[in-house]
Chain A
Amino acid sequence: MKKKQINGMKLEFDAISSNEAFARQTMCAFAAGLDPTIDEISDLRVIISEAVTNCVVHAYKNAPGKVEITAKTYEDRSMRIKIKDRGCGIEDIDKCMQPLYTTDPSGERGGMGFAIMQAMSEKFRVVSAPGAGTALYIEIKFGK
C-alpha cells in the first residue's frame, strides 16, 4: 500500500564545509513535524552531516559543486531523503560500505561514514557511477 505523504521539500546549496551545519539544522527543522525524540533527531543530524561531508570531501574533493537534498515525510512518521551530488562518483560501492575503508591517506578520517549512516537508517541505498555523481536514498522511521 502506498504511504500517505504529509510534506515535501527540496534544498540545493554549495558543497562547502560550512554548509554541513546548515544542512543538518535545516533537515532537523523539517523533520520536527514528525515529533521525533531527542535521540532520533541526533541520529538524523549525524546522517545528514555524514552525507554532506562526503559530497564536500569525496565527491567534489573541495572543488565547487552543488548538493541537492529532497525529502518527504509520511503519515506513518517515516521520512525519505535523497542526497545527490554531481561529483566524481564511486567506483566500488561495496568497498566504500566497508567499515574503516577510506580513500583519504592522511590518517585523519575514520572511514566510518557509510557504516554509521547505514546503522542509523531504516533503509539505506547508494546509487553511483564514476563521473556520474552519487545519490543516497535514506529512509528513517521515527517512533519505532
Chain B
Amino acid sequence: MDQTEISAEYDDGVLTVRIEGEVDHHAARHLREDIDKKIFFHRPAVLVLDLSRVGFMDSSGLGLMLGRYTRMEEIGGRLVISDPSQQTEKIIRLSGLDKKIEIKKKGGQA
C-alpha cells in the first residue's frame, strides 16, 4: 500500500506537515524523504507534524518522529506533534517520546 500522503503549509517560521494514511515501515521511508525536503527548503523554526488523519502508526512512526526531532535540533528548531489519535498517543507514551517531544491537542498551543 502506498496510500500515505503528506500536505504542507509554511507560514511565519512554522512548517505544518499533515500526514494522511497509515505510518508503518513501508510508508515511513517515503514520508521521511518528503518531509526532509520541505525542512531543507523552508528551514522552519517549528515543524508541526499534524497526525489528526493518521489511522495507524507503529514504532516506525516513532522513528520518523525521532529522526525529524534530530533534524530540527540540527537547524536550531523544534518539533511539535499535533492531534495524534488515541492509539498513536498510546504508542508515543509507551515509548517515552512524549517526554522529549511536545504534543499539542486540538485547541491547545504549540
Contacts and interface: CB of A to CB of B under 8 A. Distances in A.
B56 to A, nearest CB: 6
Q: For chain B, which range describes its interface: under 10, 10 to 19, 20 to 34, or 35 or more residues? A: 20 to 34
A103 interface: no
B59 interface: yes
Main secondary structure of the interface of A (DSSP, over half): helix
Nearest to B59: A112
A127 interface: no
Interface stretch (B7-15, B76-84, B90-98): B90-98
Contacts, number: 74
A108 B26 contact: no
Nearest to B68: A108
Interface residues of A, number: 25
B66 A110 contact: yes
B70 A107 contact: yes
B59 A109 contact: yes
Interface in B23-64: 24-26, 28-29, 32, 56, 58-60, 62-64
12 contacts: A21-B1, A39-B86, A46-B58, A49-B56, A50-B59, A53-B59, A53-B60, A107-B66, A108-B66, A109-B60, A110-B66, A116-B94
Q: Which 9 A-B pairs have the closest CB atoms?
A: A17-B26, A110-B62, A49-B58, A109-B63, A53-B25, A42-B87, A108-B67, A112-B59, A21-B1
Interface of A: 17-18, 20-21, 24, 39, 42, 45-46, 49-50, 53, 56-57, 99, 106-110, 112-113, 115-116, 119
Given A21-B26, A57-B25, A99-B95, 11 more contacts: A17-B24, A18-B2, A21-B24, A42-B56, A49-B24, A106-B67, A108-B28, A108-B66, A109-B59, A110-B66, A115-B95
